[in-house]
């Protein structure tokens, strides 16, 4: 079994990592006998690095334990993930209107029966549930659901969180925190406890994309803004951002944007972005994460599962990166067609950091293509993946899949380099994997690199 295979099956251990890293001699490892590494030795070293270096998950929808029930976990949440709900409606004749009133347990049972019993779970999202059950050594067959439920019910939330992060091989996750979410904001207002493994992100969709529906919520928090974002609204939004940054200590600000996003733009969102958000990020030294290309609610009957994708015109990004050289932009694009253009722009602007293979891009075939393209064009100066996990245990399968997909791609890059005449060392490989999966993120988020 390969090192990676071992990792996928066996809970990850931080202690093993430290020991393994300590054992590696810088610029030593050719092969045990000093000869250049063979192709299979290179693959083993890559797999070893991927399975022993703890990653930083730069974008999730998970919550620190102090947010209580906002943090989703367990089998019923895994089964009712909106990726699976969308697949359920492909395999079932049930109208969405008859599905939504069901209880969580009923929905989960229906999805299990439809996608896991009546069909083989070969899609990426369904396979993920199987991988999670397997990781906990639970049954994965047709009748697996009751035992899985019993298992998750008896877990203690905090211990379980620690165990899951460790099994996924991640040292910390970045949350998505919406200051205008009526369920979330009270937690912050009463002083949410900070957690060293959960970093906050100030999410701005309601401000930048749906101001018309949310300006009153900003007013309700004590800021003098109006529906047209006129007069002192811009300075009040700046004040709002500064106050929320103080409260959340975010590692970046973020927004998901449609395929039609343009910059500069004279609409309310465009003005607030240019006059409030960009200057606030600059002043506070925070990157701005832009996730571009979503076509919201193409089918509203599917609710969260009803969004689609559109190709964006990345001149918006070019304008932002050029006009604001002192700002930093962390960017993911949803359309496959935009991926190459994003790499080209990143070669032009070092204040642009491509990250992740987002949502519909997070399938092995596409991740493979994007990762290869990014390595060829950007070396190690990008962040290959984030999990986008909404349910805690998803980090287990999503990160295992990333490791599995990236291992042959990285190995192939080193093999080519070796064929072209460069000796590859274990410390090169470890430095690169560390850069890709943790230190690029830590540097951009101003987090203290691990000592
Ligand atoms: O991948 C997802 O779960 C999407 O629904 C979105 O949440 C997306 O990741 C986002 O952050 O907007
Ligand atoms: Zn997301």
State pLDDT tens for residues 28-72: 446 666 788 999 999 999 999 999 999 999 999 999 999 999 999
Say whether pLDDT at 331 is over 50: yes
Q: What is the pLDDT of residues 180-210, one digit of tens each?
A: 999 999 999 999 889 999 999 999 999 999 9
Question: Hey, whose CA ends up nearest to atom 6 of ligand 1?
Answer: 359
Other CB atoms within a 10 A radius of the CB of residue 122 amount to 9
Is-contact 328 288, C-beta < 8 A? yes
Q: What global pTM score does this model have?
A: 0.94
Question: Hey, whose CA ends up nearest to atom 5 of ligand 1?
Answer: 304
248 strand-pairing partners: none
The Å distance, Cα 294 to ligand 2 centre, comes to: 11
Q: Mean of the per-residue pLDDT values for the chain?
A: 93
Is-contact 164 392, C-beta < 8 A? yes
pLDDT band of 92, cuts 50, 70, 90: very high
Q: What is the pLDDT of residues 407-443, one digit of tens each?
A: 999 999 999 999 999 999 999 999 999 999 999 999 9
Say whether pLDDT at 75 is over 50: yes
Question: Hey, whose CA ends up nearest to atom 9 of ligand 1?
Answer: 388
Say whether pLDDT at 103 is over 80: yes
Total residue length of the chain: 451
291 strand-pairing partners: 256, 332
Confidence (pLDDT) at 16:
37
How many Å apart are CA 385 and CA 86, to the nearest integer? 23
Angle at Cα 11 formed by Cα 30 and Cα 250, nearest 5°? Answer: 90
Question: Hey, whose CA ends up nearest to atom 3 of ligand 1?
Answer: 388
Say whether pLDDT at 1 is over 50: no
pLDDT > 90 fraction of the chain, expressed in percent and rounded: 91
Tell me which of 191 and 27 has the higher pLDDT.
Answer: 191
How many Å apart are CA 309 and CA 76, to the nearest integer? 27
Q: Which helix (H) or strand (E) holds 295?
A: strand 288-295
Confidence (pLDDT) at 18:
35
Question: Hey, whose CA ends up nearest to atom 10 of ligand 1?
Answer: 256
pLDDT band of 291, cuts 50, 70, 90: very high
Q: What is the pLDDT of residues 206-264, one digit of tens each?
A: 999 999 999 999 999 999 999 999 999 999 999 999 999 999 999 999 999 999 999 99
> Residue 183 corresponds to which tokens in the numbers above?
């369920």
The Å distance, Cα 212 to ligand 2 centre, comes to: 23
Q: What is the pLDDT of residues 110-157, one digit of tens each?
A: 999 999 999 999 999 999 999 999 999 999 999 999 999 999 999 999
Confidence (pLDDT) at 22:
35
**Mean pLDDT, rounded, for 348-366:** 98
Tell me which of 169 and 16 has the higher pLDDT.
Answer: 169
Q: What's the helix, strand, coil split of the chain in %, to 5?
A: 55, 10, 35
Give every CB contact of residue 143 below 8 A, 6+ residues apart in sequence: none
Confidence (pLDDT) at 20:
39
Say whether pLDDT at 21 is over 60: no
Other CB atoms within a 10 A radius of the CB of residue 10 amount to 12
Mutation probe of ligand 1 site: the residue of 181, 210, 359 with most atoms within 8 A of C-beta: 359
The Å distance, Cα 251 to ligand 2 centre, comes to: 15
In angstroms, the Cα distances linking 356 to 193, 328, 386 are 28, 16, 5
One-character DSSP codes across 253-278: EEEEEETT--SS--SHHHHHIIIIIH
How many Å apart are CA 183 and CA 408, to the nearest integer? 43
- Nearest atom in ligand 1 to the alpha carbon of residue 362 is 1
Ligand 1, CB cutoff 6 Å, lining residues: 61, 176, 256, 291, 304, 359, 388, 390
Tell me which of 451 and 107 has the higher pLDDT.
Answer: 107
Tell me which of 397 and 17 has the higher pLDDT.
Answer: 397
Confidence (pLDDT) at 31:
67
Mutation probe of ligand 1 site: the residue of 256, 331, 333 with most atoms within 8 A of C-beta: 256
**Mean pLDDT, rounded, for 387-401:** 98
The Å distance, Cα 298 to ligand 1 centre, comes to: 15
Q: Which helix (H) or strand (E) holds 291?
A: strand 288-295
């Amino acid at each position: 079994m390969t090192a990676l295979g071992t990792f996928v099956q066996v809970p990850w251990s931080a202690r093993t990592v430290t020991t393994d890293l300590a054992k590696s001699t810088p610029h030593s490892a050719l092969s045990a006998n000093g000869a250049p590494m063979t192709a299979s030795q290179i693959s083993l070293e890559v797999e070893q690095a991927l399975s022993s270096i703890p990653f930083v998950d730069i974008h999730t929808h998970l919550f620190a334990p102090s947010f209580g029930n906002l943090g989703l976990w367990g089998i019923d949440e895994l089964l009712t993930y909106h990726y699976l709900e969308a697949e359920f409606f492909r395999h079932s004749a049930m109208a969405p209107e008859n599905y939504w009133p069901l209880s969580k347990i009923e929905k989960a049972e229906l999805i299990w029966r439809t996608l896991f019993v009546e069909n083989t779970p070969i899609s990426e999202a369904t396979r993920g549930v199987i991988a999670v059950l397997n990781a906990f050594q639970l049954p994965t067959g047709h009748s697996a659901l009751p035992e899985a439920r019993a298992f998750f019910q008896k877990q203690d939330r905090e211990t379980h969180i620690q165990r899951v992060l460790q099994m996924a091989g991640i040292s910390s996750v970045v949350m998505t925190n919406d200051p205008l979410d009526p369920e979330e904001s009270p937690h912050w207002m009463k002083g949410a406890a900070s957690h060293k493994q959960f970093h906050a992100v100030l999410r701005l969709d309601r401000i930048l994309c749906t101001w018309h529906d949310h300006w009153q919520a900003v007013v309700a928090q004590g800021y003098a803004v109006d529906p047209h974002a006129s007069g002192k609204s811009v300075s009040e939004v700046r004040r709002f951002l500064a106050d929320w940054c103080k409260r959340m200590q975010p590692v970046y600000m973020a927004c998901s944007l449609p395929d039609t996003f343009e910059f500069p733009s004279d609409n309310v969102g465009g003005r607030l972005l240019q006059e409030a958000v960009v200057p606030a990020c600059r002043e506070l030294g925070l990157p701005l994460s832009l996730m571009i290309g979503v076509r919201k609610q193409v089918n509203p009957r599917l609710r969260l599962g009803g969004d689609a994708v559109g190709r964006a015109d990345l001149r918006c990004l070019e304008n932002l990166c050029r006009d604001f050289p002192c700002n930093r932009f962390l960017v993911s694009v949803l359309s496959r067609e935009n991926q190459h253009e994003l790499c080209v722009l990143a070669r032009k602007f070092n204040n642009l950091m491509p990250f992740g293979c987002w949502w519909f891009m997070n399938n092995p075939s596409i991740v493979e293509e994007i990762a290869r393209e990014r390595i060829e064009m950007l070396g190690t100066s990008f962040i290959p993946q984030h999990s986008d996990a909404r349910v805690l245990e998803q980090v287990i399968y999503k990160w295992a899949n990333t490791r599995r997909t990236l291992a042959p791609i990285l190995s192939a890059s080193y093999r080519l380099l070796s064929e072209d005449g460069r000796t590859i060392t274990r410390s090169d490989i470890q430095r690169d994997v560390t850069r890709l999966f943790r230190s690029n993120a830590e540097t951009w988020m101003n987090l203290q690199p691990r000592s």
